[in-house]
């Protein structure tokens, strides 16, 4: 590999314009591909196959009118007074206008809907009054009928007695006609009474049926009593916009059109705010924070390299790589569903590693030029040595990112793939574009003073004293304790997705969220949907009774504010409800409620079991967070295992990989602790702009594992390989630690500061999703580079001594020899910096071991990471 990169470097140097133009064409082609084939980028995070997605699919099939994404538009008077009739008319007109947009299924007028809700309550009151009046009327009629029946019975008794007396007196024949006439009158009256009784009975039955139905209706109304679309003081109202497509499929153009219509409403005295479901869009790629981060990186480069040209080249290389990778990846967004954070993550990584990888090659080239090496030979040798290390280091990052695909979560796998592409392009740019530009710049990469001293540079003094053992013990113990303390908050880490409360306080989403929370209750920001599948079709009162029974069971759960029936499916086998929790979307109570509702299923009924399913944005967030929390340990085990294998191959040791991996785990959990303390607990909130602490972004821990693993292995390589080389050349193990630290510390310090600066720029992004990612990566690099790699690892290596390099002979024969820094290339391409073998701590010459070249200039160049096999 080193020889191939050497030839590539020289070729790029000789044909520099061809290489530069080729990269310009690649960016242009990527831009054309993006312009022709890009698609919509969604801000929603979803995972297919979750319980929520299954219920959502069922809703789309059985309740087509209720399917499609939706969002809220909140109207509130600026002075807190009740909305006037004129303002209400303007609100209704705005919602009507939005309802006519292509892609909008319907809008809900809050005033009409609230009037209907209020009318339903009045109808129930009026219905009860009518039933009571009807019952009283029927009772009076029954009393009259009973009196008639008693009078008729008396008359019948008297007639019967008269007939008997006439018979006894022998006058029956003469009075027979009269008796028959009287009996006919009595029979007619009896028939009339019977008819009246049937009417009264029918009336009672009708009233009983109405009373039952009214009672069921009253029960449902009671369950929904806390639902309001107009606040109780009349100062705020919530309109709903329902789209024809699901939230993920709504085009950004349609969302922007709704947002623009709301922003331009111009309703005097009314503030119009759009909820997160509509207003949340693709975060801006570059903002003030990102620019500041790049400026800090430029300053570090200027201090390290000493020339404006030198400082500009790594930045230029990074921008070339980012441009090609980002545009190229987004060209596929019309085929694959991109989440809004995916290209931003690629941008973060592309900038950070692009600057660092180019820096490693440029720094090596400058050192060789100062030692008198010819321009093109220096470029080729820098590409074959430091470029070889760049390829290996970048490959570890790529492998870790691609491993995100094993989680089985599509959006996370795509995020890892796009990040891996960004790193791969950064590597290609570093080993081709950077040599080409170095050739174009020529000797101007050095300062005038440095050019005047070419060939006279002397090797820096070699460290011949080991670290004091007590210092190593104290450093190791204190460092581990500090990281453990920082990691403590991670024990209470909760995962979730951003909601309106996480957005900037000046944003429409935040205003909408807080207005709903204060005027209608936090739960109306996080409605749930419950779908109940009945054992068999039900109609009429039976269906109503089922709805009441299910609604009451749901309402019996804690943290339920309201239960609103949506209706029944066309085949009457499924009923749906909207549930309003008492807590917000990210609250513990809402999370518990989702589990409680699912645990209710199945419900027992007289005709079989009723199964329940839960959906809604809050439910989806919970499902996504739990799924990601479940895959995190699996992914961590895979990455840690990968770490051990890679480091065993590189360092040909069993102990060094274990210390490196232990350090990675320490820095990882310390990063989780910092994230939890700031973004969930709200510590130092004023500094980081955390106005509403919330659960940690659900996919952030998995992303942190992948990216920090790759970067940690980079730093481990750049530091410990120098220790390995010094030990392989005969230096005592403890002195080798100091020599390796002396070699790698300058470049790791610069690289880490640059990465921290770039990642920190995203901490102050306008996106609530991007901010914690930026902090997590910046803090993770800070902890891993400056505490773990430059303090704890050297201390542990010192205490381990020769034991750190123990490697079984049988394993030595199996494991391939990896020449990461191209030492074999240097043996065949010596340059003026090569000097006699170094001396050990006692000043005696140290013989070469196992064919390794003994050098002293690796310390002078301040960045060398030689071969690792003794």
Highest mean pLDDT among 39-48, 138-147, 247-256, 725-734: 138-147
Using an 8 Å Cβ cutoff, are 44 and 37 in contact?
Answer: no
Give the percent of the chain with pLDDT over 90: 24
Tokens, residue 828: 């065949």
Q: Is 287 exposed, middle or buried (0-12, 13-18, 19+ CB in 10 A)?
A: middle
pLDDT, residue 459, reads 56
Using an 8 Å Cβ cutoff, are 453 and 637 in contact?
Answer: no
Q: Is the pLDDT of residue 424 over 60?
A: yes
pLDDT, residue 388, reads 81
Rounded average pLDDT over 335-339: 77
For 689-770, where are the E strands, in sequence order?
696-697
Summary mean pLDDT of the chain: 83
d(CA 706, CA 702): 7
pLDDT, residue 863, reads 36
**Terminal Cα distance for the chain, rounded:** 20
Where residue 283 falls among pLDDT bands split at 50, 70, 90? low
Using an 8 Å Cβ cutoff, are 386 and 361 in contact?
Answer: yes
pLDDT, residue 189, reads 86
| 338 vs 190 pLDDT, higher one | 190
pLDDT, residue 45, reads 67
Rounded average pLDDT over 836-852: 36
d(CA 590, CA 596): 10
- Flag the least confident range among 174-178, 534-538, 769-773, 822-826: 822-826
Q: How far is CA 199 from the centre of its chain?
A: 67
Using an 8 Å Cβ cutoff, are 416 and 346 in contact?
Answer: no
- Flag the least confident range among 50-64, 231-245, 409-423: 50-64
Q: Is the pLDDT of residue 870 over 50?
A: no
**Would strands 495-496 and 696-697 be described as parallel, antiparallel, or unpaired?**
parallel
Peptide bond into 602 cis (omega under 30): yes
Q: Is the pLDDT of residue 170 over 70?
A: yes
pLDDT, residue 27, reads 92
pLDDT, residue 284, reads 58
d(CA 354, CA 314): 7
Alpha helix (H) ranges present in 45-171? 51-62, 85-99, 110-169
pLDDT, residue 778, reads 92
Residue 133: partners with Cβ closer than 8 Å, 6 or more residues away: none
Where residue 858 falls among pLDDT bands split at 50, 70, 90? very low
Beta bridge partners of 271: 76
pLDDT, residue 855, reads 36
| 854 vs 142 pLDDT, higher one | 142
Query: Closest Cα to residue 337, out of 232, 410, 275?
Result: 410
pLDDT, residue 776, reads 93
pLDDT, residue 715, reads 84
pLDDT digit string, tens, across residues 309-334? 888 899 899 899 988 998 888 888 77
d(CA 543, CA 545): 5
d(CA 403, CA 416): 8
Rg of the chain (C-alpha set): 40
d(CA 114, CA 626): 37
| 770 vs 824 pLDDT, higher one | 770
Where residue 840 falls among pLDDT bands split at 50, 70, 90? very low
Q: Is 845 helix (H, G, I), strand (E, B) or coil?
A: strand
Tokens, residue 570: 């066309």
Q: Count the helix, strand and coil residues of the chain and give each as a percent rounded to the nearest 5.
A: 70, 10, 25
Using an 8 Å Cβ cutoff, are 715 and 667 in contact?
Answer: no
d(CA 651, CA 647): 6
Which DSSP state fits 156? H
Residue 808: partners with Cβ closer than 8 Å, 6 or more residues away: 654
d(CA 12, CA 6): 10
Enclosing H/E stretch for 577: strand 574-581
Tokens, residue 536: 């068999």
d(CA 552, CA 542): 15
Using an 8 Å Cβ cutoff, are 368 and 380 in contact?
Answer: no
Tokens, residue 699: 């996919």
- Residue 10's region, left for phi above 0, alpha for psi from -120 to 50, else beta, is alpha
pLDDT, residue 119, reads 84
d(CA 792, CA 663): 8
Using an 8 Å Cβ cutoff, are 644 and 568 in contact?
Answer: no
Q: Is the pLDDT of residue 652 over 90?
A: no
Which DSSP state fits 586? T
Using an 8 Å Cβ cutoff, are 624 and 607 in contact?
Answer: no
- Flag the least confident range among 75-89, 325-339, 487-501, 786-800: 325-339
Rounded average pLDDT over 756-762: 86
pLDDT digit string, tens, across residues 472-531? 999 999 999 999 999 999 999 988 878 888 888 888 889 999 999 999 999 998 889 899
DSSP string covering 251-304, please?
-HHHHHHHHHHHHT---TTEEEEE-HHHH--PPPSS-HHHHHHHHHHHHHHHHH
- Residue 107's region, left for phi above 0, alpha for psi from -120 to 50, else beta, is beta
| 737 vs 341 pLDDT, higher one | 737
pLDDT digit string, tens, across residues 681-731? 999 888 888 888 988 888 888 888 888 887 888 788 878 877 887 887 788
Where residue 280 falls among pLDDT bands split at 50, 70, 90? low
Residue 492: partners with Cβ closer than 8 Å, 6 or more residues away: 676, 680
Give the percent of the chain with pLDDT over 70: 91
The C-alpha angle with vertex 114 and arms to 112 and 118, in degrees rounded to 5, equals 115
Give the relative orientation of helices 588-600 and 617-651 as an angle to the nearest 10 degrees: 100
Q: Is 6 exposed, middle or buried (0-12, 13-18, 19+ CB in 10 A)?
A: buried
Using an 8 Å Cβ cutoff, are 239 and 73 in contact?
Answer: yes
Where residue 433 falls among pLDDT bands split at 50, 70, 90? very high
Rounded average pLDDT over 194-212: 86
- Flag the least confident range among 245-249, 423-427, 440-444: 245-249
């Amino acid at each position: 590999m080193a020889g191939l990169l050497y030839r590539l470097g020289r070729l790029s140097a000789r044909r520099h314009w061809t290489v530069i133009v080729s990269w310009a064409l690649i960016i242009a082609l990527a831009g054309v591909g993006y312009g022709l084939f890009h698609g919509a980028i969604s801000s929603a995070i979803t995972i297919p196959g979750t319980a929520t997605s299954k219920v959502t699919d069922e809703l789309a099939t059985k309740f087509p009118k209720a399917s499609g994404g939706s969002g809220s538009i909140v109207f509130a008077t600026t002075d807190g007074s009740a909305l006037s009739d004129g303002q209400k008319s303007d609100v209704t007109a705005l919602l009507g206008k939005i309802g006519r947009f292509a892609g909008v299924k319907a809008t809900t007028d809050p005033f009409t809907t609230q009037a209907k809700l209020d009318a339903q309550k009045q109808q129930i009151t009026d219905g009860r009054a009518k039933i009571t009046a009807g019952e009283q009327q029927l009772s009076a009629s029954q009393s009259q009928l009973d009196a008639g029946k008693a009078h008729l019975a008396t008359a019948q008794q008297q007639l019967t007695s008269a007939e008997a007396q006439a018979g006894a007196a022998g006058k029956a024949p003469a009075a027979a006609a009269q008796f028959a006439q009287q009996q006919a009158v009595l029979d007619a009256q009896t028939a009339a009474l019977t008819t009246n009784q049937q009417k009264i009975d029918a009336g009672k039955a009708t009233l009983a049926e109405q009373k039952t139905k009214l009672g069921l209706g009253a029960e449902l109304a009671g369950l929904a009593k806390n639902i309001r679309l107009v606040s109780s003081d009349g100062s705020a109202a919530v309109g709903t916009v329902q789209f024809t497509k699901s939230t993920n499929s709504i085009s950004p153009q349609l969302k922007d059109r709704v947002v623009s219509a709301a922003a331009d409403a111009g309703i005097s005295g009314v503030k119009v705010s759009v909820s997160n479901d509509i207003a949340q869009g693709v975060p801006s790629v570059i903002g003030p924070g990102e620019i500041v981060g790049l400026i800090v990186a430029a300053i570090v480069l200027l201090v390290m390299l000493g020339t404006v040209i030198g400082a500009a080249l790594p930045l230029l290389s990074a921008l070339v790589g980012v441009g090609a990778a980002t545009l190229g990846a987004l060209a596929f967004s019309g085929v694959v569903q991109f989440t809004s954070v995916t290209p931003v993550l690629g941008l973060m990584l592309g900038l950070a590693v692009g600057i660092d990888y180019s820096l490693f090659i440029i720094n090596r080239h400058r050192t060789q030029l100062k030692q008198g090496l010819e321009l093109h030979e220096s470029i080729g040798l820098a590409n074959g040595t430091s470029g070889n290390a760049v390829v290996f280091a970048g490959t570890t990052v790529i492998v870790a990112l691609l491993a995100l695909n094993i989680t089985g979560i599509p959006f996370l796998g795509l995020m890892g793939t796009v990040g891996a592409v960004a790193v791969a392009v950064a590597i290609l740019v570093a080993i081709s574009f950077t040599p080409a530009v170095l050739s174009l710049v020529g000797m101007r990469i050095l300062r005038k003073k440095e050019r005047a001293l070419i060939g006279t540079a002397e090797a820096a003094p070699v460290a011949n004293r080991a670290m004091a053992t007590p210092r190593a013990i104290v450093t190791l113990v204190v460092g581990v304790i500090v990281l453990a303390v920082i990691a403590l908050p991670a024990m209470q880490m909760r995962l979730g997705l951003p909601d309106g409360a996480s957005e900037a306080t000046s944003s429409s989403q935040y205003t909408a969220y807080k207005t709903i929370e204060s005027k209608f209750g936090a739960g109306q920001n996080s409605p749930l949907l419950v779908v109940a599948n009945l054992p068999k079709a039900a109609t009429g009162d039976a269906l109503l009774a089922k709805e009441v029974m299910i609604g009451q069971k749901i309402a019996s759960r804690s943290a339920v504010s309201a239960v609103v029936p949506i209706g029944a499916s066309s085949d009457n086998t499924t009923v749906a409800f909207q549930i309003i929790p008492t807590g917000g979307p990210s609250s513990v109570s809402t999370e518990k409620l989702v589990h409680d509702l699912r645990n209710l299923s199945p419900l027992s009924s007289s005709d079989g079991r009723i199964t329940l399913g839960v959906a809604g944005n809050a439910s989806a967030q919970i499902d996504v967070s739990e799924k990601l929390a479940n895959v995190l340990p699996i992914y961590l085990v895979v990455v840690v295992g990968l770490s051990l294998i890679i480091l065993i191959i590189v360092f040909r040791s069993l102990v060094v990989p274990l210390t490196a991996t232990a350090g990675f785990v320490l820095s990882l959990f310390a990063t989780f602790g910092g994230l939890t303390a700031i973004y969930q607990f709200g510590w130092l909130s004023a500094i980081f702009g955390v106005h509403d602490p919330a659960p940690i972004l659900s996919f952030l821990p998995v992303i942190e594992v992948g990216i920090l693993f790759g970067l940690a292995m980079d730093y481990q390589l750049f530091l410990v390989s120098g220790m390995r080389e010094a030990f392989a050349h005969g230096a005592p193990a403890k002195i080798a630690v100091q020599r390796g630290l002396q070699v790698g510390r300058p470049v790791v310090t610069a690289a880490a500061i640059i990465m921290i600066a770039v990642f920190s720029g995203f901490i102050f992004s306008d996106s609530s999703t991007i901010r914690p990612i930026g902090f997590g990566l910046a803090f993770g690099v800070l902890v891993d580079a400056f505490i773990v790699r430059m303090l704890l690892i050297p201390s542990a290596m010192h205490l381990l001594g020769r034991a750190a390099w123990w490697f079984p002979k049988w394993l030595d024969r199996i494991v391939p020899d990896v020449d990461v820094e191209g030492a074999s290339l240097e043996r065949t391409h010596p340059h003026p910096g090569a000097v006699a073998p170094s001396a050990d701590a006692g000043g005696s010459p140290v013989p070469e071991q196992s064919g390794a070249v003994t050098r002293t200039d690796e310390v002078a160049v301040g960045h060398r990471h030689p071969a690792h096999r003794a």
